[in-house]
């Protein structure tokens, strides 16, 4: 029904721009089976492309869709798609800018937690598709000389991510995606940060202890164990190095370590 022919006179950039600009006309050189310009066919094709990308966003961000409702989410997704066309033919990479878009979308200014829920869902997807790698064996750290432990630097596992939020991002994500049948009381005054890992086949998520987001984030950025612990202790007086380090090692957040 929407078959078209594209002559070698159609500029690829112009064609792509027209796809995501509803106000633009049919690119010159784009014709139907009869050899005539085919604006209706192009409109159908354009709509199919946009709808498929909106569907892809819905699959990536089901918690956001549930929080907003299907109709509002579809309108939001369409607004995003028309201003953020794909940069890769692989759809699993599409949506990296969605959380920032949500955060800066004026009609959603009164729902500031949505962007962090989207960041959590995006991190989950990246962890799911990350390269397989055996996590660090905790025994490796135990074998490090006590005088050198503070100087240890950890290598982040490819699937590991930290999402830090001033909102109850974990509870919101659980209630609207990961554990929808549970009775979860949402307290919007509660800050939550989450560690996302995939040590084996399934993605794991752990609600982090006080200061752990600073600690893990510092280690992921190349800080030594001592530097990460100091930063976390400064941010949270009740930070527990032993507990947080145990959480990281048991969930497979690290791939390896280096001793200076």
Report how far residue 95's alpha carbon sits from residue 119's, in angstroms, rounded to the nearest whole number.
10
Instruction: Judge whether 105 lies within some domain.
Output: no
Closest by Cα among 227, 155, 186, 176 to 68: 176
Instruction: Judge whether 180 lies within some domain.
Output: yes
Q: CATH no. for residue 117? A: 3.90.930
Start-end of H helices in 98-211: 98-104, 114-129, 138-142, 169-173
Written as six digits, the tokens of 125 are 């997807």
1-25 per-position pLDDT tens digit? 445 544 455 566 666 666 666 666 6
Same domain, residue pair 62 and 144: no
Site of tokens 């660090």: 136
Same domain, residue pair 127 and 237: yes
Instruction: Judge whether 238 lies within some domain.
Output: yes
Same domain, residue pair 28 and 51: yes
Same domain, residue pair 57 and 138: no
Q: Among 74, 99, 124, where does a domain finish?
A: 99
pLDDT for 5 equals 46
For the entire predicted model, the pTM comes to 0.86
Report how far residue 77's alpha carbon sits from residue 55's, in angstroms, rounded to the nearest whole number.
9
205-247 per-position pLDDT tens digit? 999 999 999 999 999 999 999 999 999 999 999 999 999 999 9
* Residues of the domain holding 80: 1-99
Instruction: Judge whether 243 lies within some domain.
Output: yes
């Amino acid at each position: 029904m929407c078959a078209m022919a594209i002559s070698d006179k159609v500029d690829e950039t112009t064609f792509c721009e027209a796809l995501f600009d509803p106000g633009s006309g049919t690119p010159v050189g784009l014709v139907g089976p009869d050899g005539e310009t085919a604006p209706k066919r192009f409109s159908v094709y354009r709509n199919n492309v946009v709808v498929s990308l909106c569907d892809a966003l819905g699959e990536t961000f089901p918690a956001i869709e549930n929080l907003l409702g299907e109709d509002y989410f579809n309108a939001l997704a369409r607004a995003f798609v028309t201003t953020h066309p794909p940069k890769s033919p692989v759809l699993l990479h599409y949506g990296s800018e969605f959380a920032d878009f949500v955060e800066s979308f004026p009609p959603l200014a009164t729902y500031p937690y949505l962007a962090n829920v989207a960041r959590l869902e995006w991190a989950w997807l990246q962890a799911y598709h990350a390269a397989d790698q055996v996590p660090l064996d905790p025994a490796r750290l135990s074998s490090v000389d006590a005088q050198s432990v503070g100087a240890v630097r950890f290598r982040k596992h490819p699937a590991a991510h930290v999402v830090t939020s001033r909102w109850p991002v974990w509870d919101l994500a659980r209630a609207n995606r990961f554990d929808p049948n549970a009775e979860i009381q949402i307290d919007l005054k509660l800050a939550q940060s989450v560690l996302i890992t995939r040590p084996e086949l399934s993605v794991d998520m752990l609600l982090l202890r006080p200061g752990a987001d600073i600690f893990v984030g510092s280690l992921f950025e190349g800080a030594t164990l001592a530097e990460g612990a100091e930063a976390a202790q400064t941010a949270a007086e009740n930070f527990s190095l032993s507990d947080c380090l145990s959480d990281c090692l048991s969930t497979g957040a690290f791939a390896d370590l280096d001793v200076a």
